[in-house]
Amino acid sequence: MLSNDWIMLNNLKIGIVGCGHLGQAIAHSLIDRGLERQNLLISYRDNPRTYEMLNAQGLTSCLSTNQEIFQEAGIILITIKPQDITGLINFPISEKALVVSCMAGVSAELLYQILGINVYRMMFSGPDTIVSEKGVAAMYPEHEHLKMLLRCMNLTYIKTITEDNLDVFTAGVCMPAAILTTKNPGQQQEAIDKIGKEYPLFSELYLWAIKILPCFQNNIEKEDYVARMITKGGITEAITNSLMEGEPLDIALQKGINQTQEISKGIQQSLTNHLHGMSGIKTISWRY
């Protein structure tokens, strides 16, 4: 029997704009746990490989246009690459929709400028942890419907006080790869205690990472697992490179935060330049 959360969620349509690895993991989790297929709307950029993966998961019946998603869905999750957000400038969006950005590096204020509405931000741990129901998520600001969504996906909600904490969270969910890469496992707790004084979220995420680490038959399996979590120029790469150079975990995590902020600055500058080059776009303070 479905819970009250699922009954309420199935009275809404859930839209996912962009169905890469993260979007597919969210869609897979929602359908597997009780969302009716007719209540899921997803879009993608006509990549044949993406279509093959969606077809393998039985999700092609949920395919919709962005126009349909923004007009029909009650909760809309934007999971596209940050640099693609400019394609949504001046997009008509239903006043009843709760729009959520799952993109790292794009601030709520900038999202307001692009979409013309208040946008919530929500960050997730890796797609594999979402599908296995071992994941965590953070949001800013809080919204009860988004907490309900996370409960339905059986994900753990990590409370963040400020939007800046999302940078800490983004670095923190790289912790499984960091733990597996560190050359001084006996010093991990000391490092976490040290950096946790400034960033308490790391202490919470360290306990989560320890709990969800998979078991490996050999080092090759472990190295393959870590490699799948790394993207060129990304946060996980910054952290694991630091650890492989022999630096302690606290220093590596700080470099992860720094990389998150550098990526954020680059994205925001690029988008700001794009916006300033367009007519009719004004700088408006994000507000609730």
pLDDT of residue 46: 82
How far apart, in whole angstroms, are the C-alpha atoms of residue 257 and residue 89? 29
CA 58 distance to own-chain centroid: 23
Q: Which CATH superfamily is domain 4-157 in?
A: NAD(P)-binding Rossmann-like Domain (3.40.50.720)
- Report how far residue 159's alpha carbon sits from residue 146's, in angstroms, rounded to the nearest whole number: 12
Residue 63: Cβ within 10 Å count: 16
In tens digits, what is the pLDDT along the chain, a chain of 288 residues? Answer: 568 888 888 888 999 999 888 999 999 999 999 999 999 999 998 888 899 999 998 899 999 999 999 999 999 999 998 878 888 887 899 889 999 999 988 889 889 888 889 999 999 999 999 999 999 999 999 999 999 999 999 999 999 989 999 999 999 999 999 999 987 788 999 999 999 999 999 999 999 999 999 889 999 999 998 988 888 888 999 999 999 999 999 999 999 999 988 888 887 787 778 777 765 444 433 333
Residue 177: the pLDDT is: 94
Q: What does the domain layout of the chain look like in residue ranges?
A: 4-157, 163-270
